[in-house]
Amino acid sequence: YNDVKTGFITNGIEFSEEQMKSVVDNCSWCGFSIDAGDKTSFKAVHQVDKFYQVIENMAKLVEMKQERKSNLEITYKFLLHPLNASTIFKASKLAKDIGVDMFQARPVCWDNLYDQTIRKPIDYKSFVDLINVQMEQSSRLTDENFKFYGIRHKFGESFERVINFKKCRATSIMAVYCADGTIQLCHDLRGKKEWILCRHDNPEDILDVWGTKKHLDMIDSIKPENCPRCTFQRYNEIIENVIIEDKMYRDFP
């Protein structure tokens, strides 16, 4: 609508046919947050025994996409964790067999979270070699119909968070509509009241907030050093280096 593209992220557990039709007909992409390659690792990570239900719903969405001749891009999303590290290749092969377009793997976010006091840091060091082998095997599955992406540029060698910019300016490139009815300032800061822009019970309410002084002040108050991982890291680096600091002499192409 109005040239604004929409993406949809789901855990895939409760996904009705009506909802699937809406996603297939209206969204540019749909990501399933699965984070596992089999029933055992799924239960270990998510604490529920719903792996086959999620996979079935993903397969249904792929079938519906094909039936309705949609350009929807479907992604199998996988957060790397010691509990699922041995199933990366199994998951990526399953994704390809189902017929999804893309597999995306990246480390789970664990540092600078709001409930950090009850979360222990994740030590990836003893799993790095296993993860690298699994990701190398998975990358070989890539062809013209299936892409494997192992996101590493936002993290250090041991998957620690990396922030290479001084100020956040990129949150306004996307509005984040959450299942609890809120519109959040940033994908990575969702979950705390001070980062809520408004609600989306009335879809037009965002027009009263977006681009206002309140919105701009909220963006200005973000301190990257206190953030979790940054989804928009590359955008922030480009804005800061190319636009703000003009390191590429943009007036002299």
Q: What does the pLDDT read at residue 4?
A: 81
Residues 6 or more apart whose Cβ sits within 8 Å of residue 71? 28
User: What's the mean per-residue pLDDT of the chain?
Assistant: 89
Number of domains in the chain: 2
Instruction: Reply yes or no on whether the pLDDT at 115 is more than 70.
Output: no
- Mean pLDDT for 135-161 is 81
Q: Which of 88-92, 113-117, 175-179 has the lowest mean pLDDT?
A: 113-117
Identify the pLDDT of residue 34. 97
Q: Is the confidence at residue 119, as pLDDT, over 60?
A: no
2 is a domain residue: no
**Are 66 and 132 in the same domain?**
yes
Q: Residue 202: CA atoms inside 13 Å, Cβ hemisphere, count?
A: 7
The three-class DSSP label of residue 103 is strand
The domain in which residue 222 lies consists of: 171-244
Sign of the dihedral through C-alpha 223, 224, 226, 229: positive
User: Cβ(200)–Cβ(181) under 8 Å?
Assistant: yes
**Per-residue pLDDT tens over the stretch 215-225:** 999 999 999 98
pLDDT on residue 187:
84
Instruction: Give me the CATH number covering residue 64.
Output: 3.20.20.70
Say which residue, 85 or 121, is predicted with more confidence. Answer: 85
C-alpha dihedral over 119, 122, 123, 126, to 10 degrees?
130
Q: Please determine, for residue 102, whether its predicted confidence score (pLDDT) is greater than 90.
A: yes
Q: CB count, 10 Å around CB of 222? A: 19
Q: Are residues 12 and 55 in the same domain?
A: yes
Q: Is residue 165 in a domain?
A: no
From 120, 150, 180, give the residue that closes a domain.
150
- Is 38 within a domain? yes
Pick the last residue of a domain from 150, 181, 216: 150
Amino acid 251: pLDDT:
84
What is the 3-class SS of 49-80, one letter each residue? CCHHHHHHHHHHHHHHHHHCCCCCEEEEEEEE
In this structure, is residue 16 part of a structural domain? yes
Q: What is the DSSP string of 162-181?
A: ----SS---GGG--EE-TTS
In percent, the amount of the chain with pLDDT more than 90 equals 64
Query: Do 181 and 134 sit in the same domain of this protein?
Result: no
